[in-house]
Structure 1
Amino acid sequence: MAGMNYAVELNNVTAGYKEKIILNNISIAIQEGKIAGVIGPNGAGKTTLLKVITGLLKQWTGEIRIFGKPINKIRALERACLMGVVPASVTTPMNFTVGEIVSLGRIGTMPRWKPVSQEDKQIIERAMAYTGITDFHDQLYSELSAGEKQRVIIAMVLAQQPRIILMDEATSHLDINHKLEIMSIIERLNTEHNVTVLMISHDLNLAADYCQNLFLFNNGNVFAKGKPHEVMTENNLREVYGCNVSVRTDPVSGTITVMPARRWMPHLSGAGFTIHVIGGGGCAEELIRRLVLCGYTVTCGVLNQGDSDAILSSALGIKTILEKPFSPIRTESLSKAVSLALKADAVVVSVVPFGSGNLANLEIAKEALKIGKKVFIKDKIENRDYTEGKQASKIAAELINRGAILWNNMAELFSLLPSKQAENKQ
């Protein structure tokens, strides 16, 4: 946006490891002097984001700018002075004192083979005073509590005199008192020194309380971005995290509080019920695990031998109809899978992509629906339909017209499945 100074800008950035994409064409901008947060489930790409910002991981495509300068034009030593990183925890191979740890923050600016200058000493002392660890100067770092160690690391980062602080789950191992203490220090640095802060956090309430802007990541994409109240909606969090949540805003303070549901459903609510899952390619792994944890009997198929879902089903002792690897579904295998589905209480079509090889699996749902079984289909099937003429989408539309139910996220699906809890409400 015109007139705004950005500390960090990513434009159409894609990055990953080997051939696996972790960040998929993302674009974000963090305004200078602001505290921004990145939230999202495990594996969403949050830590990889920090790696590409610091230059530890080179992006495949797109552009990264730090204070308007392309990152590939910034030398490593200059990046080390511009950005300080506070990780979740730091271990040291040797018994360094607190003073020695904090002095490491000056390495990027000190001449080689020369003693610490008086100016450097003053910066180190100021950083220790600012974080309240002056009394620990000669104490061994290994003897400190988790909260005290994080204050030492922040002091080390502060000694760098960075313009940006990147926090990677920096409060994840701390109790609530130490979390607030660390965030108060960070907030003070931001306010008094105009330090830009980007924090990654699994603590949604902490992120909502301290961040002026949030980025919600999911599967390597920016699912939502904006002010905390714009990002932390029940629909957004339910979609991304796959569980029921309650989001409340205090009418006086404006504080956002996120409360997850206690559990997916009451203990063993699925006991006595059978669910037939149509999956493939590992797309149903999480669904299968959750069903088993809730006490459901699960059947699967048709799956190809060696498929990730097939391997998981075998490990869990789930009855599964298998087809040869990389082979289309034969009539015999389809018939066996239909037989399993007709004995189940419901059929769930997972987030599996459809092509010519597995299109026949939708016939299983069709046959189950004919005799009145409940059928649940993951929404947006058109986005994963690779059949000629979008045949899978057409079959799904036909099934929905005949009574099949679309599901959007795991929390919604489990609220719809037959269960003891549902029976008790009737």
Structure 2
Amino acid sequence: MKNSISTKAITFKYDESTIVDEISLQVKSGSFLTIIGPNGSGKSTLLKLIAANLTPDEGTILINDRQLTSYKMKDLAKEMAVVPQDTNVAYDFDVFDIVLMGRNPHLKRFQKEGDADFAIVRDAMEQTNTWHLRERKVNEISGGERQRVIIARALAQQPKIILLDEPTSSLDIHHQIEVLELLKRLNQEKEVTIVAVLHDMNLAARYSQEVLLLHVGKIITMGKTEDVMTVENLQRAYKMEMIIQRNIYTNALEVIPLSLSAKKEKRTNKKIHLVCGGGTGKELLQHLLEEGYKVSMGVVNVGDSDWELGKLLAIPMAEEKPFSEISEEALGKAEKLANESNLSIMTSVPIGWGNIKNLQLVKNQLQQSKKVFLYKQNLWGERTDFTEGRGNALIEELKSLGLQEISTMEELLNQLGEYK
């Protein structure tokens, strides 16, 4: 298969340490794959093995269904370009000459570069915003500028596959986005297969079609970005608390690490059930997790913004089909989750005929002498009852049974801390 990479049980050891441990993977033609993982997980070593800079102790690597070891280096350079993490250049050439080296694989022995080669080099430099540096010495420019020059050299090779090891590490945020947008464009318009090691998980989430998550030399999981970048998977690799939300501007997943001390261990055994929906539970859910509580949710409709955040955070949920009345099955699951919790919190979710049964769940909890708080928000204005008054009447009934109304997050968290 053209433009493809596959590895079969490759292992690489340094002295007695196994850095890459029996990794098998398939990168399909035209993919944009990002490799992520904590320091020491084997990301850069795996990339160097695929680039033929290192030789595996065991296993095989195929480029375009052909064994990597069967390629002559010049032929391999026509297929694949590499942008290393270390962009230092031993010789102080002009920037233009450094990029022009990318044309070497396409030249015969003793052949000089022609007008077509010069045009390709200029195009590569303009795409990477380095044309204005063409007459500068490569070791006189900044590290970020040199990073873009090396990427321009890779583009001048006109490869079908580009491997990049931390290509944005020396770049400011403007040039990070510029380079990744360029790689995305090459991937989409010219079907160049991209494999990049990135330290920034949010850039990985924004630009990758697929993600490979490594930990101590092994694959935790590999697949579509949104399937891989879940709280459960990332916590396994990075060993810290985090939340994941969707960026409202880019629509990409956004990972927000929490400090190691943010989770209060003394409260981790307390379970809270949320009755929410329509985005009313998002802020509360994140605060509860940061405080160390175990949380469940439901009943929420599939596709609801609270449901979406709950899925990203791997929260146990009772869910119902969109725009559907809550079924007895979904209500039963929510009841089970609520019964397993120490207390429940109901948000100011608008009440309609589709979700009014959630109030019955709250009533059942109160009748069992379980504590239930109503977190009174003003997200939807005054009108939150769309059941001709039935919903408001039920809430008043719930208050008479002990539903406690709280209007600020600070007060709610204080009450939760005091509740035994």
Q: What is the identity, as a one-letter code, of the residue corresponding to 2:67? A: P
Asked if the contact 1:88–1:173 (Cα under 8 Å) also holds between the matched residues in 2, the reply is no
- Residues 1:66 and 2:63 aligned together: yes
Question: Separation in 2 of the partners of 1:122 and 1:36?
Answer: 29
Query: What is the SS of the residue equivalent to 1:107?
Result: helix
Deviation at 1:250, TM superposition (A): 4.3
Indicate the residue corresponding to 2:177 in structure 1. Answer: 180
**Identity, % of aligned positions:** 35
Indicate the residue corresponding to 2:43 in structure 1. Answer: 46
Query: What is the SS of the residue equivalent to 2:106?
Result: coil
Distance 1:95 1:251, change over 3 A: closer
Question: Which one of 135, 139, 158 corresponds to residue 136 of structure 2?
Answer: 139
Residue pairs, 1:46-195, within 5 angstroms:
46-195=43-192
Asked if the contact 2:34–2:210 (Cα under 8 Å) also holds between the matched residues in 1, the reply is yes
Question: Which one of 251, 260, 269 corresponds to residue 264 of structure 1?
Answer: 260
Residue pairs, 1:206-355, within 5 angstroms:
206-250=203-247, 254-261=251-258, 263-265=259-261
Deviation at 1:20, TM superposition (A): 2.7
Aligned residues: 271
Deviation at 1:424, TM superposition (A): 10
What's the CA shift string for 1:60-82, capped at 9, x where partnerless? 22221101111122222211221
The higher radius of gyration belongs to: 2
Question: Separation in 2 of the partners of 1:51 and 1:175?
Answer: 25
Deviation at 1:196, TM superposition (A): 0.5
Query: What is the SS of the residue equivalent to 1:215?
Result: strand
Question: Separation in 1 of the partners of 2:119 and 2:419?
Answer: 68
Gaps of 5+ in 2: 267-416
What's the CA shift string for 1:3-44, capped at 9, x where partnerless? x76610112222222443211111111111111010001111
- Aligned CA RMSD, in angstroms, stands at 2.7
Asked if the contact 1:150–1:182 (Cα under 8 Å) also holds between the matched residues in 2, the reply is no
Deviation at 1:252, TM superposition (A): 8.1
Q: What is the identity, as a one-letter code, of the residue corresponding to 1:138? A: E
Indicate the residue corresponding to 2:360 in structure 1. Answer: none
- Residues 1:24 and 2:21 aligned together: yes
Asked if the contact 2:3–2:193 (Cα under 8 Å) also holds between the matched residues in 1, the reply is no
Question: Separation in 2 of the partners of 1:246 and 1:228?
Answer: 16
Q: So what's the TM-score if we normalise by structure 1?
A: 0.59
Question: Separation in 1 of the partners of 2:227 and 2:3?
Answer: 21
Indicate the residue corresponding to 2:197 in structure 1. Answer: 200
Question: Separation in 1 of the partners of 2:29 and 2:262?
Answer: 46
Query: What is the SS of the residue equivalent to 1:128?
Result: helix
Query: What is the SS of the residue equivalent to 2:77?
Result: helix
What's the CA shift string for 1:159-203, capped at 9, x where partnerless? 111111111011112221111011111112212221100010110
Question: Separation in 2 of the partners of 1:186 and 1:180?
Answer: 10
Distance 1:258 1:54, change over 3 A: same
Distance 1:61 1:100, change over 3 A: same
Distance 1:424 1:108, change over 3 A: farther
Q: Which runs of 4+ in 1 moved over 6 A?
A: 423-426
Indicate the residue corresponding to 2:380 in structure 1. Answer: none
Deviation at 1:98, TM superposition (A): 1.2
Q: What is the identity, as a one-letter code, of the residue corresponding to 2:8? A: N
Asked if the contact 1:12–1:25 (Cα under 8 Å) also holds between the matched residues in 2, the reply is yes
Gaps of 5+ in 1: 271-422
Indicate the residue corresponding to 2:338 in structure 1. Answer: none
Q: What is the identity, as a one-letter code, of the residue corresponding to 1:248? A: Q
